[in-house]
Structure 1
Amino acid sequence: MDFMQLLDMLVHVDKSLDMLISQYGTLIYLVLFFIIFAETGLVVLFFFPGDTLLFIAGALCATDQMNLPALIALLITAAVTGNTTNYWIGEAIGQRVFTHNYRWIDKDALNRTHMFFEKHGGKTIILARFIPVVRTFAPFVAGVSDMSFSRFQMFNIAGAVAWVVSLTVAGYIFGNVPIVRDHLTTIVMVGVGLALGPLALGAVWKLCRRMLNRRRAAGR
């Protein structure tokens, strides 16, 4: 297997997990640990699967191909250590990330996450767990923004537990229902939309209130 084949398998592991288990047996736990750690810990790998991977892994636990408690414990550890690594990288680079042209960083994603972080503060670390791309950049931005390590870890652990447990248990309960398995991509997209919905409404409300305040100030 060459590098491109390996990369393709990792990126689409949510679709090839059955095959990986049959080929690698219990080593699949290490593969899943690496994917979750990399997606949350390395900003250049923000495209790795996250939500669908957790859901599918939970579904396979329901067929006794993996052990659910062991999987949850392992992936919470991966999510926490991944975010922690990302935080340290951001802390080491600091504010110059916004002024230097780092080719390995998606500046648009970085700036969007930074604005998200400025608006929602520390709870961004928890909310971002359920939002692709933002999930990968949030701990990095927290490190850049000099959030205290103890405060970061409080949100980091809470978010990791909520993310991993909710999606793997949902997969365990619903993942093998035919209609769910056949429409998994659509369901995940709806879930992301529901996660983003309240945030989007909050942003619109703040924008409208700001515009109203400006009109009132202009009318005086």
Structure 2
Amino acid sequence: MNAASHGFGVLETAGPVVVWVVVLTLVFLECALIIGLFLPGDSMLITAGIVLATHTTGGQQAWALSVGAMIAAIAGNQVGYVIGHRTGAKLVARRDGKYLNTANLHRVNGMLDRHGFWAVLVSRWIPWVRTLCPLVAGAAKMDHTKYTIASTLGAIVWAPVLLLLGFYCGTFLHRISWLMPVVIGVMVAVLVIGTILGIRHYYQEMAKPAEEVEVDEVEHEL
């Protein structure tokens, strides 16, 4: 048991600075750029919360990072919207792409057209839609004020809920000396492997033939 604890000591004592950098970077990328389609954002937030539970200042760090992650998500949403808006009505998909394909872009376009505000709000909890929504909303000329309010409310709920869920689960696990290192080790390993595979899949997707997809202007008022 002691050997296991020492073996995972590096993971348990990872500096909050490292956690902050990883969380803010991945949250921003997932909300702003296409590469975010392939990054494990949800599991990353939960893992960060669990890791912070091992620190003496974990409570303050978790709440502060929740605010930071919200800001990163809001900023990412705005960058994604601007990119889509400047691209115009024609977006570039990938033929036979897993996520960045014509069907998914039209699906998100249809959601925004039918449900507008609520589609943006709910999309926060659907990984691939979370990344495509800002891009499509900008290209479809969705009202920027409504989009900003909906995406901001979504970010306010999404990041803190997952990060604090991880933190409070971590405080419980921390009471079981042998279990905490194992859980952190497994989750960090899954996160690292998922990120590496995600980046690989991103380059594979981008290597596929490009095709233009024209999106319809969003007219939904709510």
TM-score range, shorter chain: 0.5 to 0.7
CA distance in structure 1 between the aligned counterparts of 2:88 and 2:12, rounded to whole angstroms: 39
1:69 aligns with 2:63: yes
Q: Is residue 56 of structure 1 aligned with residue 50 of structure 2?
A: no
4+ residue runs over 3 A deviation? 18-22, 100-105, 175-184
| Distance of 2:90 and 2:43 partners within structure 1 | 34
Between the aligned partners of 1:25 and 1:54, the Cα distance in structure 2 is 13
Cα distance, 1:119–1:21 mapped onto 2, change above 3 Å: farther
Which amino acid letter does the alignment assign opposite residue 55 of structure 1? I
Equivalent residues of 2:13, 2:55 under 8 A apart:
no
- State the TM-score, normalized to the length of structure 1: 0.65
1:127 paired to 2:122: yes
Q: Which amino acid aligns with 1:49?
A: P
Q: Could you list the per-position Cα deviations for residues 27-69 of structure 1 after superposition, in whole angstroms to 9, with x for gaps in the alignment?
A: 4312221111001100233111111111111122222275112
Q: Which residue of 2 aligns with 1:169?
A: 164
- Paired amino acid for 1:157: T
The 3 A distance-change label for structure 1 pair 85 and 95 is same
- Per-residue Cα deviation, 1:10-35 (whole angstroms, up to 9, x for no partner): xxxxxx9x74973x651431222111
- Shift of the alpha carbon at 1:177? 5.2
> What CA distance in whole angstroms lies between the structure 2 residues aligned with 1:148 and 1:117?
11
Larger fraction in strand: 2
Name the structure 2 match of 1:34.
25
Can you list the C-alpha shifts for 1:179-199, whole angstroms capped at 9, x where unaligned? Answer: 995998xxxxxxxxxxxxxxx
The runs of 5 or more residues in structure 2 that have no matched partner are 1-7, 174-178, 188-222
**Alignment identity in percent?**
27
Q: Is the 8 A contact 1:21 1:28 kept in 2?
A: no
What does the per-residue CA deviation read over 1:103-143, in whole Å, with 9 as the maximum and x for residues that have no partner? 79812332222222223211111111111100101111111
Correspondence for 2:80: 86
Q: What is the aligned partner in structure 2 of residue 44 from structure 1?
A: 35
- Cα distance in 2 for residues equivalent to 1:49 and 1:149: 27
C-alpha separation between the residues in 2 aligned to 1:20 and 1:133? 30
Distance 1:38-1:112 versus aligned 2 partners, 3 A rule = same
2:112 to 100, 112, 117: 117
Q: Distance in 2 between matches of 1:50 and 1:61?
A: 17
Asked whether the 8 Å contact 1:129–1:135 carries over to 2, the reply is: yes
- 2:164 and 2:93 mapped to 1: Cα distance? 41
Q: Which runs of 5+ in 1 are unaligned?
A: 1-15, 185-220
Higher RCO structure (Cα 8 Å, ≥6 apart) = 2
Q: Secondary structure at the match of 2:88?
A: helix
Report the CA distance between 1:175 and its aligned residue. Answer: 4.1
